Structure 1
Amino acid sequence: MIVSPSHNLRVADNWVRPYEPGSGRWLVIAWEAFALTLLTWASIRQFDLMGHGVRVVAGLLAAVWVVGAWRILRLGVYVSAEGVLIRGLLRSRAMRWRDIAGVRLHRATHRLGPWQIESGNTVLLERTDGATVHTELWERGMDFHSRPTVFRAVYQEIRNRHRSAAAGPH
């Protein structure tokens, strides 16, 4: 269970990710396995490891891969009646609906010298204190790259849940 200290919101089992993860997650996990295998092989060769050293390096990097794969599988935005939970690769953050002023799309661009590169839409949460919170929802990301209608449906689901919470119990 995670407790969000800034809002004292307990993260329990009632959180639901309003979308099925995309197959891109498995590609990322496979790529990471390949990269860590190469790192293990290079480390063993570079430091002339044998026996116990090989097992330690291989075990350590395998453990890093398992933890990383677990976090990648759980990555995303979850909703409940109480609020929204954003699970990132390194940390998770929970917010109550009442602390969120709005949910909106943001057209992300990146600058590369004089050029601007369009990166597609992301979902942003605007907090009541004026701060903006980035979610893990990206139109061209691993979950929605080839599923733009799913991205729009998830965005609408989060907006509708926020509106329902703001309207209060009926």
Structure 2
Amino acid sequence: MPLPFLTADRVFDADAEDIALPFDDHDSWRRPYRPGPWRVAAAATLLLLASFVLLAATIITFAGSLSGATLCFALAAVVIAGALRLLRVGAWVSRHGVRRVGFFRTTTVRWKDAAAVRTVQQPVKWLGFPRTVQGQALIVVRRSGEPLAPLVTDHNADFLARAEAFERATDSIEAWDDEYRSS
């Protein structure tokens, strides 16, 4: 079963002329980078946990306790939904704007409502934990002045210890901004 939210449509090619906007359909929401190994490992661990919970639910069902089995099946469904949501977290772009997908909340900023999209040096969260370190963050400056959490940072689960991938992703998102904010 293909999972389109896991991969970019095309592999990054430094010699290609259409590096910035490599997608054919600019109306659909796309993540211009692949999920990082930390995010994929966390989701895989959650799915492994869900498989054990489903096995336990099956055993409980055969033992005859339907209320316990129902609780285990519900817990497994929540863990699976959490793993899939974790894979969707990140920055998404389309012709309509830029979208910051968080675990519990999604924020969309239309290109015409963004004053700028730029990379800045600032304290950033390390893997989403409360601990902050000095790093780079891609931020959206809104015309209204409302603050928005960074789209991506070089210390999040997608780009920790992957500086080159962070640069490619931020360049790609900034190129989408250049293309559509002015139009």
Same-fold call, TM cutoff 0.5: yes
Deviations 1:5-61 (CA, angstroms, capped at 9, x unpaired): xxxxxxx961111001112222212443567769xx8xxxxxxxx712320221111
After TM superposition, list the pairs within 5 Å mapping 1:66-85 onto structure 2.
66-85=80-99
The answer to whether the 8 A contact 2:44-2:83 is kept is: no
1:93 correspondence with 2:83: no
Which whole-Å CA distance do the structure 2 matches of 1:109 and 1:13 have between them? Answer: 31
Q: In structure 2, do the counterparts of structure 1 residues 145 and 81 end up closer, same or farther at CA, with 3 Å as the change threshold?
A: same
Whichever residue aligns with residue 170 of structure 2, its letter is Y
Return the letter of the residue paired with 1:85.
Answer: R
Compute the displacement of 1:117 (Å): 4.8
Map of 1:3 onto structure 2: none
Native 8 Å contact 2:124 2:136 kept in 1: no
Distance, in Å, in 2 between the alignment partners of 1:165 and 1:19 is 19
Q: Quote the Cα distance in structure 2 between the aligned partners of 1:131 and 1:108.
A: 19
* Structure 1 Cα separation of the partners of residues 45 and 112 of structure 2: 39
State the secondary structure of the residue aligned to 1:131: coil
Aligned partner letter, 2:139: L
Moved beyond 3 Å, runs of 4+: 30-38
TM-score of the two chains, using structure 1 as the length reference: 0.71
From 130, 144, 150, the counterpart of 1:129 = 144
Aligned to 1:167: 182
- The residue number in structure 2 matching 1:151 is 166
CA contact (8 A) 1:107 1:120 kept: yes
> CA separation of 1:28/1:102 partners in 2, compared to 1, >3 Å: closer, same or farther?
same
More strand by share: 1
Alignment identity in percent?
27
Query: Paired residue for 2:116?
Result: 102
- In structure 2, the residue matched to 1:60 is 74
Count residues with an aligned counterpart.
144
Q: 1:29 to 1:117 in 2, by over 3 A?
A: closer
Distance 2:82 2:90 in 1: 14
Q: Check conservation: 1:84, 1:97, Cα contact below 8 A.
A: yes
Which of 25, 41, 46 aligns to 1:32? It is 46
TM-score relative to the length of structure 2 = 0.66
Residue number in structure 1 paired with 2:23: none
In 2, Cα distance between equivalents of 1:109 and 1:74: 20
